[in-house]
Amino acid sequence: MDERTKVLVRARAEGRCEYCQILQSLYPDFVFHVEHVVARQHGGVDLPSNLALACHLCNGVIALQPGGNMRYFVSSVFKYAKSEAN
Ligand SMILES: [Zn+2]
């Protein structure tokens, strides 16, 4: 993916991991990367609609999966964690 696309995705994310929504500014030690939602090896394309800004935790979860769309899975986990906390 080109730099322009990465800049666009980072701007859209407004400094948050697009999976778990944590703010990059609150976790300066976390490395955030622009990642493919559907991996290239599974047919994912280099378009903003298939890219997401991800913290290293979400990036790690995604990397362990055999492919496919992890956005729903990860956001569900964090919604569950939030509801448990209340
Ligand atoms: Zn995250």
Beta bridge partners of 34: 53
Which residues have a beta carbon within 5 Å of ligand 1, which is an ion? 17, 19-20, 55, 58
Q: Taking the CB of residue 25, how many other CB atoms lie within 10 A of it?
A: 8
CA of 78 to the centre of ligand 1 (A): 9
The model's pLDDT over 24-78, given as tens digits with 9 standing for 90+, comes to 999 888 889 999 888 888 898 999 999 999 998 888 766 555 554 555 555 555 5
Q: How far apart are CA 84 and CA 2, in angstroms?
A: 40
Q: Any idea which fold 3-81 has?
A: DNA Binding (I), subunit A (1.10.30)
Ordered by start, the domain boundaries in the chain are 3-81
Read off the pLDDT band of 14 (50, 70, 90): very high
